[in-house]
Amino acid sequence: MAASMAGSAPCPTDEAIGVFEARRFAEARAMLEPCSPTDARAALYVGRAHLAERNVDRAIETFEKAAALDPKGAEPQLWLGRAYGQKAMKANILQQASLAGKVRKAFERAVQLDPANSDARLSLIDYYLLAPGIMGGSVAKAREQAVEIRRRDALKGFQAAGRIAEHEKKWDAALSEYERAAREFPQRKEPYIWRANVAAQQKDYARAFDTLEALQKAQPSDPTVDYSIGRLGAQTGERLDRAEEGLKRYLQHEPGHDEPALSSAHFQLGVLYDKRGNRELARKEYQRTLELEPSHSGAREALAKK
C-alpha cells in the first residue's frame, strides 16, 4: 500500500477514520482528501464518505483510485462493487447491463484477492441471486459461495445458506438455518434479526415482533434492538406505540459506526407518524432527517408530498 504521506506531512488516517466512524463524514473526508492521491487507505475512506453522503459517482471514482493504489487489496474492490451496485439501482436498462458486469467483476476480484473475506462472498451471493442469467446470475454459483463461507465462518455460513433459501422462498429451510445459528451462537443477535426478517416477509408481523422482543430480553443493553422494533412498526403499521417508544429510546443513544444513524431513526419516526396520519409530526421528523443527512432521498421525497 502506498505510503501515508501528503507532501511532507503525515496523513492523519487513524484520526480521520475515528471521525468517520463517528459519522462525521464530511469532516473525515476533508481530513483525508489531501492524502488520497497517494494513500490507498485514505482513498478508501474518502470513497466510503462519499458513498455515505450518497454521492455515488464520486465514490466510484475514489474507490477506483484506491484499487489502483492497492492492487492486491480486497476492500477497495468490495466497496467498488457496492458503489457500482448502488449506481445500477437508479440507472436505465442499458446502463444497468454495463454496470452489472462491473459489480460482478469487482466482487469476484475481491474474493480472489482475499478468499477469507466473507463479506465479499456474501455480496457475490447477492449478485448471483439477483442478476439474470445473461448477466452472470446463478443460484448454483451462489451455493458454491455459501459452501466456501461455511468452511471459514460458521455464523455467516448459516446466513449465506438462509439467504439463498429465502430467495427461493423456502421459508422453512431458511428458518432452520437461522435457528441452528441461534443454538450455536446464543450470544449473537444476528440469528434473531434474520428470523424476524423471514417472519416479516411472510407478513407474520406478530411473530416478527415477538422474535425481536425476545432478543431485547436476551440483550437488554443493545439499543439497536429498539431501532429494529421501531423500524418494523414504521414499515408495517403494527404496534405503533411500541415502535415509537423504541425509536425515541434509540434517539437517546449515540450510534457506533456499524449502527443505524440517528437520521435513519428520525426518518423511520416520520414514516410512523405518517402511518398515524399526523402530518405535522411526520414533517418535523423528515426535516430533522435532512438536517442530519442532507442527501437522504427518502426524507426529501416524503417532504415533497406534504
- Contact in structure between 85 and 79 (CB atoms under 8 Å): no
For residue 242, give the amino acid letter.
R
What local confidence, expressed as pLDDT, does residue 9 receive? 67
What local confidence, expressed as pLDDT, does residue 176 receive? 98
DSSP string, 19-76: HHHTT-HHHHHHHHTTTTTT-HHHHHHHHHHHHHTT-HHHHHHHHHHHHHH-TT-HHH
- Which residues share a beta bridge with 10? 5
The predicted-structure confidence for 64-123, as pLDDT tens digits, reads as follows 999 999 999 999 999 999 999 999 988 888 888 889 999 999 999 999 999 999 999 999
Torsion angles phi and psi, residue 6, rounded to 5: -125, 105
The predicted-structure confidence for 128-174, as pLDDT tens digits, reads as follows 999 999 889 999 999 999 999 999 999 999 999 999 999 999 999 99
Domain 1-114: assigned CATH number: 1.25.40.10
What is the pTM (predicted TM-score) of this model?
0.87
User: Who contacts 146 (Cβ-Cβ below 8 Å, separation ≥6)?
Assistant: 125, 157, 160, 161, 163, 164
- Contact in structure between 130 and 137 (CB atoms under 8 Å): yes
- Contact in structure between 237 and 267 (CB atoms under 8 Å): no
Nearest to 275 by CA among 216, 231, 209: 231
The answer to whether residue 6 scores a pLDDT higher than 60 is: no
The predicted-structure confidence for 238-283, as pLDDT tens digits, reads as follows 999 999 999 999 999 999 878 999 999 999 999 999 999 999 999 9
Arithmetic mean of pLDDT, 179-199: 97
The SS3 assignment for 251 reads coil
The SS3 assignment for 6 reads strand
Taking the domains of the chain in order of start, what are their residue ranges? 1-114, 131-207, 222-306
The Cα–Cα gap between 171 and 189 comes to 20
Is-same-fold flag (1-114; 222-306)?
yes
Sign of CA dihedral 124, 130, 133, 138: positive
The answer to whether residue 5 scores a pLDDT higher than 50 is: no
User: Between the ranges 4-18, 210-224, 288-302, where is the mean pLDDT highest?
Assistant: 210-224
The Cα–Cα gap between 197 and 245 comes to 20
The answer to whether residue 4 scores a pLDDT higher than 50 is: no
What local confidence, expressed as pLDDT, does residue 93 receive? 83
The Cα–Cα gap between 228 and 260 comes to 9
The Cα–Cα gap between 271 and 260 comes to 16
Q: What percent of the chain has pLDDT over 90?
A: 85
For residue 97, give the amino acid letter.
A
The Cα–Cα gap between 17 and 29 comes to 9
Domain 222-306: assigned CATH number: 1.25.40.10
The predicted-structure confidence for 25-51, as pLDDT tens digits, reads as follows 899 999 999 999 999 999 999 999 999
